[in-house]
């Protein structure tokens, strides 16, 4: 039998303005693990993604990410405390219970990438 154990999967998230996007994700609560001219790795707990210095509107306009967290209200409070909507001109929607069993909120990054940050409704 072969070993099909996975280690991790990372999305390559586009950015229209690489520097602005790096600052946004750090303010959102991610740690910048490393960065080059074309790529940056962000981490938060067990989650990570790669931010690209690359943008094609047809791809970015339909790009979505989902982050499952332990405490969605803590994340929402952080977004509000950091003033991310005003600081970066991004759209947010407050936390709500969803019919698919999550309580989440929406934040759209400066490039237009839609993030759903939420937790299992039974834990909320």
pLDDT in tens, 26-43: 999 999 999 999 999 999
Sheet strands (E) in 31-113: 31-35, 39-44, 47-52, 64-68, 92-97, 102-108
DSSP 122: G
Model pTM score: 0.93
Q: Is 104 within a domain?
A: yes
Q: Is 89 within a domain?
A: yes
pLDDT in tens, 70-95: 999 999 999 999 999 999 999 999 99
Q: Is 5 within a domain?
A: no
Q: Number of folded domains in the chain? A: 1
Q: Is 6 within a domain?
A: no
Contact (Cβ atoms closer than 8 angstroms) between residue 95 and residue 73:
yes
Range of the domain at 57: 12-123
Q: Is 45 within a domain?
A: yes
pLDDT computed for residue 57 by the predictor? 87
Q: What is the CATH number of the domain that holds 93?
A: 3.10.180.10
Q: Is 2 within a domain?
A: no
């Amino acid at each position: 039998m072969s070993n099909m154990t996975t280690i991790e999967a990372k999305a390559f998230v586009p950015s229209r303005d690489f520097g602005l996007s790096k600052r946004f994700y750090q303010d959102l609560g991610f740690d910048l693990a490393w960065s080059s001219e074309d790529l940056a790795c962000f981490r938060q707990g067990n989650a990570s993604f790669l931010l690209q210095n690359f943008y094609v509107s047809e791809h970015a306009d339909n790009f979505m990410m989902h982050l499952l967290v332990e405490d969605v209200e803590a994340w929402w409070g952080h977004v509000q405390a950091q003033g991310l909507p005003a600081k970066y001109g991004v759209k947010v929607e407050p936390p709500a219970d969803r019919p698919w069993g999550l309580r989440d909120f929406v934040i759209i990054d400066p490039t237009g990438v839609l993030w759903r940050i939420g937790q299992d409704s039974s834990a909320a």
